[in-house]
Every structure is written in C-alpha cells, then in structure tokens.
Amino acid sequence: MTDQATPQKSPRVSRRTLLRLGLLGGIVASGAIIYDRTKEVGVANWFKWMLRGQTTRFAPASRVALVSVPSYDDDLLRAIHSLWQNANAPDLQGANVVVKPNIVEFVPDRPCFTNPHVVRALIQYLRDTVQVKSVVIAEGMTFRRDPQATLIQTGYRDLLDSQHIDFVDLNYDDLVLIPLRGGYAKLDKLFMARTVVQADALISVPKLKTHHWTQISGSIKNLFGIVPGIKYGFPKNTLHIQGIDAFLAELLDSLPTPKRFALVDGIVGLQGDGPLFGTSVASGALIGGSDFLAVDATSARLMGFDPATIAYLSFIAWAGLGQLDPNKIELRGASLNSLMRSYEPAPKI
C-alpha cells in the first residue's frame, strides 16, 4: 500500500448541469423578485392583478370621445350630446345619478375647479335627453369643512339654486361601510357616503390639471372626494398614507355604483403648481368615456405627458382596471393631435 493518494480528478460540470443550475438560479431570482414585489400585498393578490392586467391586453378597446370646445360660452349642451354619443355612454334613463365635479377650492384667477358651466350643461342633458330619474351634485371637499363659501365663490350656488339641484356634502352624508375588493391598500373596508353607495351611476367630472402628488388629476383622482372627511380627516391624509397609487386603484376597483362615466373639463386647464396654484391653459377640450383609466390616459396625452410614466395610471393599468395603451383606446370625435398642448408639469414634492 502506498500513502500516496491517487490524484483526485475534479468533477466536470456538464453542459446539462450548467443549464440546470442556470434554470434554478433564474427560478430563485424570479422568486426573490416576486417575493419582494408581493410582500406588502400577498402573492395571491399580486398574481390576480398581474393576470388581469395581461388579460386586459386582449379585451376590446375602450372608447374615449373628444370634443373641441374653445370656450365656456360655446354651445356646451351640443358638445356634451356629441361626446355622450361618441363615447357610447351607459344608458342612464331612469337612473339615480350622482355628478361629482372637482370643487377643491376657490383661488382667484386659478382655474383649479370644474367649471360650473360644464356641469350645468351636463345636468340639462341628463334631465332632458337622457331622462334620468334624479341627479344631484356631490362633493366632499378636502381642505375645508364647510363647502358653502366655496360653492358661492365658484358659481355652484347659482347653478344649484337656478336649476333646483340638491347638493350632497359627501363629508357629512350618512355612511355605509363597504368592503374593498382589491386588497391594494391595507384597509379591507371603507366608509363611503350613502348617496354614492345607493346611486345607480356616478359621473366623475374633474378638471384637466396637473397635481404635485400624482402629476395629473383626472377622473380617478377626483374619486378622493367621495371619501368622507369626518372619518378620514381633512385633507383625507389617512388615505394618502395607504399609498396614493394603491388607494386610487382600490377606490376605482371598489366603486359601488353599477354604472359610471367620466367627463373631463379641459376647456381651460391648469398647468404647473396644481392642484391649486397653477396657471391656465386654453385646451379647448372635453374628454369623456366609461373607462376612467382610458379617459385619464387620454387626458394625460392631451397635456403632453406619457401616461405610462404616471405612477398611479401605470399601476392601475398593470392591475387591469382599464386601458392605457393607445392601441387599446378607440378615440372618437375631434383629433387628439389638434387638441394636444404642452402643459408645464407640477413641481415634484
């Protein structure tokens, strides 16, 4: 016997083993990424949204209508009629409708709120042509506990009185606790105004404007106003803490009204330091549709922004709650190019 050991031959790694190792590494890395992206929301939720998002790619295109309206003095009723027809709006005959404009605040010379002329024409159209059963204007202001002064300053008080329309302050309405379907935010239930919960349809009528938290403020961001301030505070910051992108997805997904429509007041928009202190832009557009994401994505394009770079729109699209891809948005009416402007972005906070 000899002590001299036979030289060990180092094991040779076959190509197959290498491939297996590579595959295993890929699986582990993918698992780590999925774990990282889902640790807040859970794997099941993440896959549900991701799959729905992928499925939405094969869904029919969403229709969005554009109307060129240079001024609030133009025939808004005719413009809304055209938009309503082109957008293939839901049938609201006999429906109880909540119209939710953005009445965020009155700041002199800053067009930060939905112009009441647009809402006036919309309500006339809903009453006379669509023949809804009832319509109310509803808002839950963010910065003020009492809306009355702002209703006067913005011209809404005149509209309400002259057209005999009820105003529902969504901050003080009776409340209903609704289940949240999505799982995006850390809440599983949300208090919501009874008027919204019991309505047949909600029409979100935002202002076309920039926003320093969310880049743009459209029909989805406008939904923040339906959340009651007496529970979530003024300015409803508790919900911002949930994560704005996640909470907006949650609101859109859990909206209890069976029918919905968005009509964006882009006749005069607001650029720069939105949502309050920006400057006006003559955009000359009304934008409408039933798919809030498609409407907001089109609004972003009209402002000169790429909606895919706007975090909450991108997240909502990924989760499959509407269409963002221009190839999946069927535009009707005025041409997008003719209405496009270059909005100054909001300063980032």
Nearest residue (CB) to another protein, 199 versus 286: 199
Among 71, 198, 238, 338, binds another protein (CB under 8 A): 238
Q: Is 64 helix (H, G, I), strand (E, B) or coil?
A: strand
- Detail the DSSP E strand segments found in the chain: 62-68, 96-101, 134-139, 166-169, 175-179, 189-193, 201-205, 207-211, 215-217, 259-271, 279-289, 329-333
φ, ψ for residue 90, nearest 5 deg:
-65, 155
Coil, strand or helix at 139 = strand
Closest approach of another protein to the CB of residue 195, in Å = 11
Beta carbon of residue 187, minimum distance to another protein (angstroms, whole number):
11
What amino acid occupies position 287?
Answer: I
Question: Does the protein bind another protein through residue 349 (CB under 8 A)?
Answer: yes
Chain position carrying tokens 């549900």: 48
Q: What does the block give as tokens for 82?
A: 């055209």
Which lies closer to another protein via its Cβ, residue 142 or residue 254?
142
Please report how close the Cβ of residue 161 comes to another protein at its closest, in angstroms.
14
Residues in Cβ contact with 49 at an 8 Å cutoff, skipping those fewer than 6 apart: 182, 184, 318, 319, 320
Among 41, 61, 136, 230, interactor with another protein by CB under 8 A:
230
Min dist CB 230 to another protein, Å, is: 6
Q: How far apart are CA 227 and CA 170, in angstroms?
A: 7
Token readout for 263 is 């009509």
**Subset of residues 177 to 196 that bind another protein, contact rule: CB under 8 A:** 177, 191
Q: From its phi and psi, is residue 155 left (phi > 0), alpha (psi between -120 and 50) or beta? A: left
Please, what is the minimum distance in Å from the beta carbon of residue 21 to another protein? 42
Single residue of 237, 309, 335, 338 touching another protein by CB under 8 A: 237
Told to check if 105 binds another protein by CB under 8 A, we report yes
* Residues 282, 268 contacting (CB under 8 angstroms): yes
- In the bound state with another protein, the residue whose beta carbon lies nearer, of 153 and 314, is 153
Q: Does residue number 253 form part of the binding site for another protein (CB under 8 A)?
A: no
Question: With binding defined as CB under 8 A, does residue 231 bind another protein?
Answer: yes
Within 155-174, the residues that bind another protein by CB under 8 A are: 169, 172-174
Tell whether residue 146 is a contact of another protein (CB under 8 A).
yes
For residue 349, the number of C-alpha atoms closer than 13 Å in the C-beta half-sphere is: 9
Q: Give whichever of 125 and 184 is closer to another protein, judged by the CB atom.
A: 184
Q: Which residue from 81, 127, 234, 341 is in contact with another protein, where contact means CB under 8 A?
A: 234
Contacts with another protein by CB under 8 A lie at 105, 107, 143-146, 148-149, 152-153, 169, 172-175, 177, 191, 212, 230-235, 237-238, 241, 273, 276-277, 347, 349
